[in-house]
Amino acid sequence: MTSDHFVDGNWTSEDGLTLHFRDYAARDDVSDKRPPILCLHGLTRNVRDFAGFAERFSGEWRVIVPEMRGRGDSNYATGSESYNVGQYVRDVQALLDQEKIDRYVAIGTSMGGLMTLVQAAQDASRLAGVVLNDIGPAIEAAGLDKIREYVGQGRNFPTWIHAARALADTHGEAHPGYATQDWIAMAKRVMVLGPNGRISFDYDMKIAEPILQSDDAAAPADLWPALDAMKDRPVLMVRGALSNLLSQATFDEMKRRLPDAETVTVADTGHAPTLDEPEAVEAIERLLDRVAAESRR
């Protein structure tokens, strides 16, 4: 499918799954050799999570939003064992190979940020810039327990208002300022209307199985060296002030290790900021300005 703003594309994983991505083009008159932006979503999210981001920054930049296996229009895995960060990184590498992309700006929210850290550990020189959104090398147990409470529950709803109310009940502490229309908008990002007329979450419920079984499955061990590998990269680190997944202490240590990185705290927001907040948008613009300047050299 093609819209006015993006083209739908597909690629194939090493184990034969057909995976989906959105490709938002840069304008023809963008003359410098800017690397594309690669947006990596969170555990239960999909390409729609970055729709606002891509609308804002495409044109000036090529923006690619892959959908991880088991989400949205990407194939579901036959078993749950491949639903892990290492496999997602290998899947994305297959996409980068297909598109012949050597360097890129990584925008990683939650699980997508863990994927970015793994990419940095493998070869940080490929990262032209990095945004880590409400994630770091250490994950708080309280935040992980919260995720386990709702992921993979398989609930469905008769109307969008019912779906919105369910999200508000689950995530209200993270977004205390949200009005009903905000929860409806979130519902339409994370859920889909099925052929039976019911509204359900847009992911394979089996993605929950690995993290319900093991803490190690939620995040790769010892990611601090991966963060250290970003020390010469333009980096922006974003935290929701109410986050239960990324603690202030971890955020402070991340800043200590990367003193040249910019940090932004989004007030009255938990896990995770949408990156549509004015302070986040302005900081991302500064990071991209730096990447654009470096690409002209």
CA 290, CA 243: separation in Å to the nearest integer? 28
Q: Is residue 213 part of a domain?
A: no
- Number of domain units in the chain: 1
- Preceding amide of 272 cis, omega within 30: yes
Q: Is the pLDDT of residue 277 over 80?
A: yes
- Does the residue 262 lie in any domain? yes
CATH code, 63: 3.40.50.1820
Could you give the maximum distance between any two Cα atoms of the chain, in Å?
A: 55
18-24 and 7-12 strand pairing? antiparallel
Residue 31, pLDDT score: 61
Burial class (CB in 10 A: 0-12, 13-18, 19+), 174: buried
Q: Assess if residue 67 is contained within a domain.
A: yes
Judge whether residue 95 has pLDDT over 70. Answer: yes
Residues whose CB is less than 8 angstroms from the CB of residue 224 and which lie 6 or more positions away in sequence, other chains included: 137, 138, 257
Instruction: Tell me the residue range of the domain where 279 lies.
Output: 7-139+220-295
pLDDT tens, position by position, 139-193: 999 999 899 989 998 899 999 999 999 999 999 999 999 999 999 999 999 999 9
Six token digits for residue 215: 């803490």
CB atoms within 10 A of CB 241: 12
Tell me whether residue 201 is in a domain: no
Q: Does residue 166 fall inside a structural domain?
A: no
Contact, 116 vs 130, CB < 8 A?
yes
pTM of the model: 0.95
| Model pLDDT, residue 32 | 67
**Residue 187 · residue 165 · CB < 8 Å:** no
171 falls within a domain: no
Pairing of strands 127-133, 104-109: parallel
Q: What is the pLDDT of residues 110-141, one digit of tens each?
A: 999 999 999 999 999 999 999 999 999 999 99
pLDDT at residue 154, rounded to an integer: 87
Say whether pLDDT at 70 is over 60. Answer: yes
Does some domain include residue 148? Answer: no
Distance (Å, whole) CA 85 – CA 294: 30
* Residue 159, in any domain of the structure: no
